[in-house]
Amino acid sequence: MPPSTILLDDFSSTESNRSSRVYENPIFSITANTAREVDSALNEIQEANRRGQYVVSVFNYELGLILQGLQLPDDAYPLLKAWVFDGYSPLSQREATTWLKKQWEFESNQSTINQDKLSGVCNISLSLDEKEFLIHLEKIKELITLGHTYQVNYTFRIEGQLYGTPLGLYLRLREKQPSSFGAFFQLDDFDLLSFSPEWFLANKNGLLKAKPMKGTLATRGFKPADLASDEKNRAENLMIVDLIRNDLARISQTGSVEVENLFDVEKVGEVFQMTSTVLSRLREETTLRKLLNATFPCGSVTGAPKKRTMEIIDSLESKRRRSYCGALGWFDPCSNDNDLGDFAMSVLIRTVEVNKKHQIKFGVGSGITIGSNNSEEWKECLLKSSFLVKLPCSVGLFETIKVFGCKLYRFEFHMRRLMRSAANFGIPYDRDQIEFFIKSKVEESCISSLEYKFRIQLNADGTLEERISKLESMGERVKIFWAKDLLGEQFMHINSFDPLLKHKTTARKLYDLCWRKAEVCGGFDGLFLNEKGEITEGGRSNVFIRIEGSLYTPPVKCGLLPGIMREIVLKDPAYSAHEAVLSAKDVREAEEIYLTNSLRGIFKVSLAPINN
């Protein structure tokens, strides 16, 4: 998928009304990093529309601080970013699905990182815990009592790591949470995966439409009518509807603002959401700056009154919102130099940001009023984020344990690593059950005079599989090769940011292929390099080299599995072993080279060329 490709993905798009859009090959981009650059950037967007060009823009939440006359923090940039195109391709929902799958197949076939075509999230953490959340909600209620605000949309961040690719993750999440305002951006510096259900503002031939979303109820055990009749949620929604009406009145023709549908309910993933629709007629000669001055950020993600509530948000939230709670919009060419053309913007909620280090960020929050049940608000946030946080793991885990004399060697090391990885990937497990399973299988299958390798596999659903086989002698397999010589230049580098590398998962096709080819060539393993040219590991071993009497092995940050025997060697002072970033030159010039794995221990090898 080419960089700077943007899919605006409306799951309700049909063959007769193709409302999904693909934008490719931008002519140029527009960025505002400071308050001084905002006016010129917004003018550039309108100028592009006047030239007959199409624009897609992301307005970060912090842009609203400027528009509301509040202080901008130093670390708030970029405030907005836009991309200008000559046109776009309209797609139905079926066509968008086909397009996405074709992009994914192409990407998977080109990938040297994830040959197993699996994507998901792991290492999930929250920017606060329930206790801190509840403390902040009490502060908000104190401010409501004192008359500072009526409602505060309080949010926090969820962070984690992506394994696989952003596109692969988008496809999985799209199945769980189809949206009318989905979006997939694959850009040079970040990827944006949005599953927003909320309509911010749209203009069609001068008719403005806003559809604020406020009010939430779990789908499990409830009906839409339960939310529609809930007084607390209706009050919460009505506060924001009044705010939106006032915002639109500032840029609308006199007397044209009206509420069309109040307290509608729609299903979004595992929750029901309450929406209301506000319509108006856009005043002539309204610029993009005037439009955003009046309406941005959307009142549903601030609260009311907007300016004072944004000050409260800034004092309570520890993380910048950035794109979260901002807006994503398309802007079509306009026919009149002084007016805005047709446009549509969504509120950037239920949105995942992915950086080039595979780190993900996701924001979630809820509207707090004096009638809010604090504990229920916490549960609501967890429920809203569950489509991401509870995404089933798409890989399994395994450990290969040496057995001799019916004894399991280094068993506690293996169990500790397996449990740690299971927790990291959200795989259900029962340690006692796993231990009993392993030991009973060993007792059933082993002859005390033989050596075995016992493979225990913990599947993504928590089920167990085992395989036991005799541990063959290494024989003369004391040679190692470069992985690129075994697999080809296209597999020369692995991505050190891939979190799967730090865990013993079932997604190891490339590594298994490497050591098997090494065996065919008369060796034991092949050594991989990362994208920086740093040594990482072998397909089934860690590597140590001796330099001036001491042993050195690459640190985990280079992109490798923290092997059991590696850990033992590093902790044993007799080896005088240390972590250090190593190059191919270091390996070639090393006094000695050693490999380690739990089955074989530590053993000396030599680096050899491939004999064709």
pLDDT band at 104; cut points 50, 70, 90: confident
Query: Residue 375's CB: how many other CB atoms inside 10 A?
Result: 12
For the cut 90, the answer to whether the pLDDT of residue 238 exceeds it is yes
For the cut 50, the answer to whether the pLDDT of residue 42 exceeds it is yes
Q: Which residues are catalytic?
A: 198, 214
Distance from C-alpha of 239 to C-alpha of 350, rounded to nearest angstrom: 22
For the cut 60, the answer to whether the pLDDT of residue 282 exceeds it is yes
For the cut 60, the answer to whether the pLDDT of residue 113 exceeds it is no
Burial of 260 (0-12, 13-18, 19+ CB in 10 A): exposed
Of 131-135, 199-203, 477-481, give the lowest mean pLDDT range: 477-481
For the cut 60, the answer to whether the pLDDT of residue 116 exceeds it is no
- % of residues, the chain, pLDDT over 90: 86
| pLDDT averaged over every residue in the chain | 93
Burial of 574 (0-12, 13-18, 19+ CB in 10 A): exposed
For the cut 70, the answer to whether the pLDDT of residue 181 exceeds it is yes
pLDDT band at 1; cut points 50, 70, 90: low
8 Å CB contact between 466 and 454: yes
pLDDT band at 114; cut points 50, 70, 90: very low
8 Å CB contact between 75 and 1: no
pLDDT of residue 75: 76
Domain ranges in the chain are: 5-389, 397-470, 479-607
Collect all residues with Cβ–Cβ distance below 8 Å to 211 and sequence separation of at least 6: 198, 199, 275, 276, 277, 278
- Residue 570: name the closest of 562, 561, 560 by CA: 562
The 10s digit of each residue's pLDDT in 52-92 is: 999 999 999 999 999 999 998 877 779 999 999 999 999 99
Question: Between these two residues, 82 and 445, which has the higher pLDDT value?
Answer: 82
The amino acid sitting at 603 is F
For the cut 50, the answer to whether the pLDDT of residue 396 exceeds it is yes
Collect all residues with Cβ–Cβ distance below 8 Å to 171 and sequence separation of at least 6: 100, 101, 104, 119
For the cut 80, the answer to whether the pLDDT of residue 145 exceeds it is yes
Q: Are strands 20-23 and 464-470 parallel, antiparallel or unpaired?
A: unpaired
8 Å CB contact between 227 and 244: no
pLDDT of residue 428: 96
Mean pLDDT confidence for 463-467? 97
Question: Between these two residues, 402 and 107, which has the higher pLDDT value?
Answer: 402
Distance from C-alpha of 580 to C-alpha of 544, rounded to nearest angstrom: 10
pLDDT band at 477; cut points 50, 70, 90: low
Mean pLDDT confidence for 241-263? 95
Confirm or reject CATH 3.30.420.40 for domain 5-389, answering yes or no. Answer: no
Q: How far is CA 470 from CA 31, 265, 412, 541, in A?
A: 62, 62, 21, 19
pLDDT band at 295; cut points 50, 70, 90: very high
Mean pLDDT confidence for 478-502? 90
SS3 content of the chain, % helix, strand, coil (to 5): 35, 35, 35
- Token pair, residue 321, equals 């919102």
8 Å CB contact between 291 and 340: yes
Q: Three-class SS string for 61-96? A: CCHHHHHCCCCCCCCCCCCEEEEEECCCEEECHHHH
pLDDT of residue 49: 96
pLDDT band at 151; cut points 50, 70, 90: very high
Of 3-7, 147-151, 204-208, give the lowest mean pLDDT range: 3-7
Query: Which overall architecture, per CATH, does domain 479-607 show?
Result: Alpha-Beta Barrel (3.20)
pLDDT of residue 110: 65
DSSP tag of 34? S
pLDDT band at 421; cut points 50, 70, 90: very high
pLDDT of residue 8: 98
pLDDT of residue 112: 52
pLDDT of residue 369: 94
The 10s digit of each residue's pLDDT in 337-365 is: 667 999 999 999 999 999 999 999 999 99
Whole-structure pTM value: 0.90
Q: How far is CA 322 from CA 11, 65, 349, in A?
A: 26, 11, 11
CATH number for 397-470 (one of 3.40.50.920, 3.40.190.80, 3.30.365.10, 3.30.470.10): it is: 3.30.470.10
For the cut 80, the answer to whether the pLDDT of residue 265 exceeds it is yes
pLDDT band at 473; cut points 50, 70, 90: confident
Q: Are strands 343-347 and 303-304 parallel, antiparallel or unpaired?
A: unpaired
